[in-house]
Amino acid sequence: MSGKHGKAAAATQRYAEDSSMGGVRNAARPGVFLKVVWVVVIVVCAVITVFSLHRLYLHHSRSRHSMTSYTNDAVAQDFPSVTLCNVNPVVSPDRLSEGDPPAARRRRAEYGMLTLSQFLQDYKMRKTNSHSEEDNRHLRHEYQTLVDQLSDQEREDAGHDLELMLSHCQLGDVPCDYRNFTRFYHHTFGNCFIFVADPRHLRVTKAGPQHGLTVELDTQSQEYTTQDEPGFVIVAHGSRDTVFPAEEGVFVPEGNAAYIALTKAERTRVTNTNCNGEDIGRDRSNIYAVDTRWRYSQRGCQHGCLQREVFRQCGCCDMDLPCPASFLDPTRRHTTSTTATTTTTPTSTTTSTTTTTTTRPTTPFIVGRRLMQERTAPASDPVQRCRPGHAEERCLRDVIRAYANGALPCQKECVPRCSVTTYSTRFSMSGLTSENQPDIIDPLERADGQTGGGQHKP
């Protein structure tokens, strides 16, 4: 036995000397105390390693997914949906363009309440003269409160009109116009417009700008009511996916030409209980699509969970998120719904709309066989926004801090979707040259009688 023990000790000694782990070498040195200390350290490190590997395995088993990467220009792909948002949510009511159609002038002249019109007239001046972040928060709260009180139609009429902004539209070699877009209301940017290609007619097999969507847009910066830099936010997404322009969009400032390249990725998670396999249905967790048939959205679920917690704990709404009363309080229901069907072809779109009074949930817009986001009408008694400088704002900050630290149930409730299609973007941008950019005439030169015209168009 002593011989075998000696051989084992010698082998252990040689391993300790050759090992890259310093703790093993130290544990093999003479001295009982240091040997015990280093043995304990090694055992603790081994336990931590095993525990970490176990947690990694559990996380992998819950979130497993399969991914196949390939590049094949010969495979026909559905053209993605493209959303365009002017960064200015509300146009100035006293700046109507001379060339506007009479119907557009009439709608803009009638939109909103008198209080909103009066507010917009001094909005720029008050924000320009404000040098305090607190003043800006109060100003934004006042603006958001007035907008929340508008009806659905008043909100749309208060925003920009794509018919007036879209100068040129072409998908590949097929012309398009504003009728190929569907309008929806975004809580930050106001009117946004989604281009959805009918998969029965428009599928792409080749990459490159000559096969993509080309648009030329007028920012209408003369009608801005905010101090934001004029421009558009553009985002590509799945045709039935919730749109997040503020989080996922590419900003193209006024006077620039942008080329945006897309890479499509399809990810399918291994079937398990920790992903949402609902492809389409009534997504009650999506604050951006109340009572509509949308695909489940993890981000939309998280935003809705956060807003619910803010409303439950503080009794108000975060100004950075939508605030539909029917979502926060199911007992409140909309009383007006709009049912619309839209048929889209590569060159034209025909739309018929019927407005009725009913208590049933509204139906989504249908473009070809794809589902579009529906306009959400405000409740007759909208939930108030959290007021700056009050206890509500402090409560809001506490809830957001708890959300960021993972103390709310949102991370557990809002799991990823089992199957998701994403579009990653790569873009380049350049200023318009003098050959394709209209002349910009200084107002003083206009007063001197000099001629010219044009506007920046991203």
Domain boundaries of the chain, sorted by first residue: 2-47
In this predicted structure, which of 245-254, 264-273, 439-448 has the lowest mean pLDDT? 439-448
Using a 10 angstrom Cβ sphere, with 0-12 exposed, 13-18 middle and 19 or more buried, the burial of residue 335 is exposed
Q: Averaged over 367-383, what is the pLDDT? A: 43
**pTM as predicted:** 0.67
pLDDT at residue 4, rounded to an integer:
58
Please indicate whether residue 79 or residue 331 has the higher confidence score (pLDDT): 79
pLDDT of 83 reads: 93
Using the predicted structure, report yes or no on whether residue 145 has a pLDDT greater than 50.
yes
Output the pLDDT for position 70: 58
State the pLDDT at residue 379: 41
Q: What is the pLDDT of residue 279?
A: 52
> Euclidean distance between the first and final Cα of the chain, in Å?
87
pLDDT of 376: 40
Does position 122 have pLDDT exceeding 80, yes or no?
A: no
Higher pLDDT, 292 or 13: 13
> What one-letter code names the amino acid at 200?
R
Higher model confidence: residue 15 or residue 222? 222
Higher pLDDT, residue 149 or 32: 149
What per-residue confidence (pLDDT) applies to 391? 92
The answer on pLDDT for 319 being more than 70 is yes
Q: Select from 288, 277, 313 the least CA-distant residue to 372.
A: 288
Question: Which of 51-60, 84-93, 262-271, 329-338 has the least mean pLDDT?
Answer: 329-338
Mean pLDDT of the chain: 70
Determine the pLDDT at residue 151: 79
**pLDDT tens-digit readout, 60-108:** 666 655 555 555 555 677 788 899 999 988 887 654 444 455 555 445 4
User: What SS3 string covers the chain?
Assistant: CHHHHHHHHHHHHHHHHHCCCHHHHHHCCCCHHHHHHHHHHHHHHHHHHHHHHHHHHHHHHHCCEECCCCCCCCCCEECCEEEEEECCCCECCCCCCCCCCHHHHHHHHHCCCHHHHHHHHCHHHHHHHCCCHHHHHHHHHHHHHHHHCCCHHHHHHHCCCHHHHEEEEEECCEECCHHHEEEEEECCCEEEEEECCCCCCCEECCCCHHHCEEEEECCCHHHECCCCCCEEEEEEECCCCCCCHHHHCEEEECCEEEEEEEEEEEEEECCCCCCECCCCEECCCCCCCCCCEECCCHHHHHHHHHHHHHHHHHCCECCCCCCCHHHHCCCCCCCEEEEEEEEECCCCEEEEEEEEECCCCCCCEEECCEEECCCCCCCCCCCCECCCCCHHHHHHHHHHHHHHCCCCCHHHHCCCECEEEEEEEEEEEEECCCCCCCCCCCHHHHHCCCCCCCCCCC
- Nearest Cα to Cα of residue 370 among 313, 431, 421, 439: 421
Task: Give me the half-sphere count of Cα atoms (radius 13 Å) on the Cβ side of residue 102.
Answer: 0
Of residues 260 and 350, the one with the higher pLDDT is 260
Q: Which of 84, 428, 411, 410 is nearest to 243 (CA)?
A: 84
